[in-house]
Amino acid sequence: MCFSENSSRFNVSFKAYYVEADGYSENPEDKKEHGISICRKLKLEFIEGLPLQLPSDREMKVLTELCRRKRPMKPIEIVGYLGSQKTPGFENCLDIASRRIARKDKAYVKRINYLMKLNKRILEKLETNGYIKRERVGTNNLVKITEAGIFVAHFSGEL
């Protein structure tokens, strides 16, 4: 299955289609010339009704940053990144994300609120769509980008 893209930065539409192969490469020369599939006659079949929705801007920022860093991130690091980018809903959290805060401090509650907002509004959606995986390593929660997430992050135009 392939996608043909008609896009601008914020308005992206896709048409999904399937190309029927006439045969498949059996030797290195064929593979170099044609790739895996050999298509002498173009036989396209458009696939209608395939739901394809890109992540929101906030979700896309998380994916592109995970892609750039090439390593898992802690949720608080993601909150700090979103704050540094003045992302709506995270504009005032840079200081809270960048320093250690005692549980008795009033800022601790704000920090927890930003982490809950990140989990509910961004990470849950990305995980449900298979773009990230969350795992616990020791006492740390880590967010890793999946192959599907890397693929989608490249549609952002930011990489």
Residue 9 DSSP code: S
What is the per-residue pLDDT for 109? 83
Q: Are 121 and 107 in contact (CB under 8 A)?
A: no
Q: Are 154 and 143 in contact (CB under 8 A)?
A: no
Longest dimension (CA), the chain: 70
Q: Taking the complete model, does pTM exceed 0.75, yes or no?
A: no
Q: What is the pLDDT of residues 24-80, one digit of tens each?
A: 888 988 888 878 888 888 888 877 765 567 899 999 999 999 999 999 999 999 999
Please state the separation of Cα 58 from the chain's center in Å: 10
CATH architecture of 57-156: Orthogonal Bundle (1.10)
For residue 12, what pLDDT band results from cuts at 50, 70 and 90? low
Measured at the CA of 128, the angle between CA 122 and CA 129, to 5 degrees, comes to 90
**Has residue 102 got a pLDDT over 70?**
yes
**CATH 1.10.10.10 residue spans of the chain:** 57-156
